[in-house]
Amino acid sequence: MADLSRTTLLLRRLEAGETAATEELLPLVYDELRRLAERQMGRESPGHTLQPTALVHEAWLRLVGELGAGPSDRRQFFGLASHVMRNVLVDHARARRAAKRGGARGRESLDHAVVVYEDKVHDLVELDAALAKLAEMDEQLLRIVELRFFGGLTNREAAEVMDIPLRTLERGWSTARAWLRGSMTSP
């Protein structure tokens, strides 16, 4: 894990408007972001065109825009990183779905033509829609799903990031999974 006090100090410098702190922050958190991405990508189909390094880089580019007004400590930062990685994966799935439906005919690369990832694309987009409904019901359950599923954190790690008791997180994770299963299988 990255040095807690150094990460928090850099995030607070960013919050104060010192954008140069991003250059110091990336090397400090990169390995952990990479581990989060590898855990997430480990659940994806083998032919997925997005690699963990690309996921980290895309997430970092999006994170940089949110750091000044966003997280002020390490826990909040990795919570936001999990959320941003989710958005990157969903956007990637939507783009693949649009390309599959003819949105990029004539410009499709060979990689896109041979990847057998179509079922997962639908699942991820459907999951995103279900998560939007879950967010309307309970923001905490959404955050648990983002940290566990998209962030690849264990229950203990997610409870630590959210600063809630482990048992509360376990109940929330169980509730969220049951609700998502029901909402994604219903017509």
Rounded to 5 degrees, φ, ψ at 97 are -65, -45
Between CA 126 and CA 20 the distance in angstroms is 39
- For the segment 128-184, what is each residue's pLDDT rounded down to a tens digit? 888 889 999 999 999 898 888 877 788 898 898 889 999 999 999 989 888 888 887
Which residue, chain included where needed, has tokens 């997925």? 48
163, amino acid identity: D
Pairwise pLDDT comparison (170 vs 43), residue with the higher score: 170
Mean predicted confidence (pLDDT) in 14-23: 83
- For the segment 54-95, what is each residue's pLDDT rounded down to a tens digit? 888 888 888 877 766 667 777 778 888 888 888 888 888 777
Give, in order, the Cα–Cα distances in Å from 70 to each of 65, 73, 152.
Answer: 9, 9, 21
> Is residue 35 within 8 Å of 157, Cβ to Cβ?
no
pLDDT of residue 87: 82
User: Between the CA atoms of 126, 111, 56 and 159, what dihedral angle is there, to the nearest 10 degrees?
Assistant: 30
Residue 114 pLDDT greater than 60, yes or no: no
Residue 33 pLDDT greater than 60, yes or no: yes
